[in-house]
Amino acid sequence: MSAPPLLSIRGLSKIFDEVPVVDRINIEVAQGEIVMIVGPSGAGKSTLLRCINRIEIPSEGDVLLAGVNMAGESRNGKLAADPPSATARKRRRIGMVFQRFNLFAHLTALDNVAIGPRRVLGAKLSEARALAAEQLARVRLSDHVLKRPAQLSGGQQQRVAIARAMAMRPVLLLFDEPTSALDPELVGEVLEVIRSLAEEGMTMLVVTHEMQFAREVGTRMLFMDQGRILEDAAPKAFFADPQHVRAREFLRRVHATAPA
Amino acid sequence: MGGFDWSAITYAVPYMLRGAVVTIEISFCAMLLATLVGLLLGLVSASRLGVLKGVVRVYVYFVRGTPALVQVFLVYFALPRIGLELSAFASGVVALAFNSAGFIAEIVRAGLQSIDTGQSEAALSIGMTERQSILFILLPQSLRRITPPLTNEAITLVKTSSLLSVISISELTRSAQVIVAKRFAPFELYSALAVYYLVMISALSWCSEYVEKRLA
What is B60-103 written as a DSSP string? HHHHHHS-HHHHHHHHHHHHHHTT----HHHHHHHHHHHHHHHH
Instruction: Render pLDDT for B160-214 as a digit per residue (tens, 0 to 9).
Output: 999 999 988 989 999 999 999 998 889 999 999 999 999 999 999 998 888 888 8
Secondary structure of residue A16 in the 3-state scheme: strand
Instruction: Render pLDDT for B45-104 as a digit per residue (tens, 0 to 9).
Output: 988 888 999 999 999 999 999 999 999 999 998 888 888 888 889 999 999 999 999 999
CB contact under 8 A, A102 and B126: no
CB contact under 8 A, B125 and A119: no
> Bridge partners of A73?
A80
Q: Which of A151, A123, A157, A152 is nearest to A139 (CA)?
A: A157
- The CA-atom distances, in angstroms, between A188 and each of A143, A160, A180, A214, B32 are 19, 15, 12, 13, 52
Backbone angles phi, psi at A74, to 5 degrees: -85, 120
- The CA-atom distances, in angstroms, between A167 and each of A49, A88, A93, A101, A190 are 20, 16, 11, 16, 17
Q: Which of B117, B126, B141 to probe by mutation at the A interface, max A CB count within 10 Å? A: B126
Query: What is the number of CB-based contacts under 8 A between chain A and chain B?
Result: 65
Percentage of chain B modeled with pLDDT above 70: 99
Give the closest-approach CA distance of B54 to chain A in angstroms.
Answer: 20
Q: Are residues B95 and B168 in contact, defined by beta-carbon separation less than 8 angstroms?
A: no
Helix (H) / strand (E) containing A154: helix A154-166
- The CA-atom distances, in angstroms, between A108 and each of A147, A187, B44, B116, B146 are 5, 22, 28, 18, 22
Q: Which of B22, B32, B26, B8 is nearest to B182 (CA)?
A: B8
CB contact under 8 A, A100 and B118: yes
Q: What is the pLDDT along chain A (260 residues), one digit of tens a residue?
A: 566 799 999 999 999 999 999 999 999 999 999 999 999 999 999 999 999 999 999 999 999 999 999 999 888 878 889 999 999 999 999 999 999 999 999 999 999 999 999 999 999 999 999 999 999 999 999 999 999 999 999 999 999 999 999 999 999 999 999 999 999 999 999 999 999 999 999 999 999 999 999 999 999 999 999 999 999 999 999 999 999 999 999 999 887 765 54
How many Å separate Cα A85 from the centre of its chain?
22
Phi and psi based region of residue A145 (left: phi greater than 0; alpha: psi -120 to 50; beta: remaining) = alpha
B121 in contact with chain A, both atoms CB, cutoff 8 A: yes
Distance CA A215, CA B58 (A): 57
Nearest CA in chain A to B49: A84
Distance CA B111, CA A192 (A): 38
CB contact under 8 A, A91 and B124: yes
A contacts of B140 (beta carbons < 8 Å): 106
Q: Which of A120, A121, A160, A174 to probe by mutation at the B interface, max B CB count within 10 Å? A: A120
B contacts of A119 (beta carbons < 8 Å): 128, 132, 136
**Candidate from A53, A85, A106 with C-beta closest to B125:** A53
Q: Which of B62, B63, B40 is nearest to B52 (CA)?
A: B40
Q: Are residues A129 and A114 in contact, defined by beta-carbon separation less than 8 angstroms?
A: yes
Instruction: Render pLDDT for A122-132 as a digit per residue (tens, 0 to 9).
Output: 999 999 999 99
Per-residue pLDDT at B1 exceeds 70: no
What integer pLDDT is reported at residue B149 of this predicted model?
92
Give the closest-approach CA distance of A184 to chain B in angstroms.
Answer: 23
What DSSP state is assigned to residue B137?
I
Residues in B 81-120 with any Cβ partner in A closer than 8 A? 116, 118-119
What integer pLDDT is reported at residue A2 of this predicted model?
65
What integer pLDDT is reported at residue B50 of this predicted model?
83
Other Cβ atoms closer than 10 A to B26? 25
B127 in contact with chain A, both atoms CB, cutoff 8 A: yes
